[in-house]
Amino acid sequence: MRRGFIGGNWKMNKLLKEAKETVENLNKSLTLSRGIDIVIFPPYTLLYFLKDLIVLPNIYLGAQNMHWEENGAYTGEISPLMLKDLEVEYVIIGHSERRNLFNETDEIINKKLISALKHGLKPILCLGESIEERKKGIEKDVIEKQFKHDLKRVPINFLENIIIAYEPVWAIGTGLNATPNEAEEMHKFIRDLIEKYANNNIVENIRIIYGGSVRVENVEELSSKDDIDGFLVGGASLRSDSFSKIIEIFNEVKGF
């Protein structure tokens, strides 16, 4: 059975005081299960501060982005070595907000993905179609194209360290989530892509998580699908009570 994964993507939110309160509340309220990895993705400015505040065993820190180079004249960027220096273990690569608001191309995402893996970081690779693409019925073509380009030249022995997040762009921060069946169908399709391109028996070990308006109200139904191995939660991860509840429901449904 694959381990569960729940990430809380705080995006550009929280200052020191609020972040400290949220993590302290999580430390108190989370009922942990050995079968789930929980990762908090705060802004860069909070990583160092939070690393000693997290006291529970399977909660980890992740970054929301990184540059692919180790160092150099890249004003405003953060390198994989800097993340490792802060004991960060996970990094989100190719979030749709990076793709759409900051013009990250599949070529850039591919460089970041290879660099993260090379430096021993575990990437969460985000894939997702826009509403126009879904309306045209080309959502699977879009996902396959992103998958092919983003994973180009990634050595097969690294694949197991990648978590793939299916995040339909139209569901992110909109309150509209993909239905459990829509998500499950795409997760199965992504698993088939891994088999097609990697042609390897590790396909069953790779975790595919869903993101896009995951909330306490819809997490039970989404968790009931076999190919949904966890969630990347944005808005609902900002409050410790809703984030803990999402983890609790996921844990109950999956029976970890």
CB 58 within 8 A of CB 32: yes
Dist CA 243 CA 253 (whole Å): 16
- 173 lies in the site for ligand PGA, by CB under 6 A: yes
Q: How many whole angstroms separate alpha carbon 131 and alpha carbon 226? A: 25
| 212 lies in the binding site for ligand PGA (CB under 6 A) | yes
Q: Are 12 and 65 in contact (CB under 8 A)?
A: no
Q: Which is nearer to ligand PGA, 11 or 20 (CB)?
A: 11
Point out which span in 13-21, 26-34, 184-192, 210-218 binds ligand PGA (CB under 6 A).
210-218
Q: Does 172 bind ligand PGA (CB under 6 A)?
A: yes
Q: How far is the CB of 41 from ligand PGA (least distance, A)?
A: 9
Residue 153 — φ and ψ, nearest 5°?
60, 15
Min dist. Cβ of residue 232 to ligand PGA (A)? 4
What is the C-alpha to C-alpha distance for residues 207 and 230, in angstroms, rounded to an integer? 8
Query: In the chain, what is the straight-line distance between the N-terminal and C-terminal CA atoms, in Å?
Result: 9
Name the residue with tokens 């396909």.
203
Per CB under 6 A, which region of 16-24, 146-154, 165-173, 246-254 contacts ligand PGA?
165-173
Q: Is 95 among the residues known to form the active site?
A: yes
CB of 240 vs ligand PGA, minimal distance in Å: 15
Question: Distance between CA 98 and CA 65 in Å, rounded?
Answer: 8
Choosing from 104, 139, 167, 184, which is the catalytic residue?
Answer: 167
Is 167 a binding residue for ligand PGA by CB under 6 A? The answer is yes
Q: Considering only the stretches 17-25, 61-69, 103-111, 207-215, report the one whose residues sit in contact with ligand PGA under the rule CB under 6 A.
A: 207-215
CB of 40 to ligand PGA, least distance (A): 13
Residue 59 DSSP SS3: strand
Minimum distance, C-beta of residue 154 to ligand PGA, in the bound complex (Å): 22
The answer to whether residue 167 is catalytic is: yes
> Site for ligand PGA (CB under 6 A): how many residues?
13
By the rule CB under 6 A, 219 interacts with ligand PGA: no
Cβ neighbours for 238, distance < 8 A, ≥ 6 positions apart: 8, 10, 13, 14, 22
Number of CB atoms found within 10 A of residue 182's CB: 16
| Token pair in block for residue 117 | 């893996």
211 forms part of the interface with ligand PGA (CB under 6 A)? yes
Residues that bind ligand PGA (CB under 6 A): 9, 167, 172-173, 211-214, 232-236
Catalytic residue list: 95, 167
